[in-house]
Amino acid sequence: MKTKIFPLFLLLSFSLYISCQNDDKPYAIKDFSNSLKPYLTKIISKGIVTFDSSTTYLENHATDKELVKLSMSEHPILRAIALRIILERPAFDHFEVIMNHLDDTAIIMTDADEWGIWDRTVSDYVIENARWKSNAEKNKTIEQLITKNKYLR
């Protein structure tokens, strides 16, 4: 009887392990369309979050679905740029986007124009560049940040 239960136990354990796996994997450049790959590579090669012709291409050609996928990229620079573009599009719930990315503490270098280059976490960069549809949404975000996310700048 013991020998029949053990394989069943292994099968159930393995099934539980597989079902608990996280589907939010980080995406690599190879996971994106061929039309976006050269621009993504160029953005990463600069090593800084800045808005130039490559990011303008993303703004004009990347779909909402591609931007969401890009916001889960393995490259923090691509995540920051994707999130900034997402927050400029009215189709997204900006509050939800911001709240879902507050734990992104990867350090990125950002172009601060005449002030030089600043280091920021992705989440701080997103908050600094966020736009809200209304003051009520902005106040809701501020309240959430102050009361539950004290580690942010």
**What confidence tens digit (pLDDT) does each residue in 21-37 have?**
345 678 999 999 999 99
- Per-domain residue ranges of the chain: 26-148
93: region left, alpha or beta (phi > 0 left; psi from -120 to 50 alpha): beta
Is the full-model pTM beyond 0.85?
no
pLDDT at residue 144, rounded to an integer? 86
Q: How many angstroms separate the CA atoms of 109 and 122, rounded?
A: 9
Provide the Cα torsion 72, 73, 75, 80; round to 10°.
-50
| 108, pLDDT greater than 80 | yes
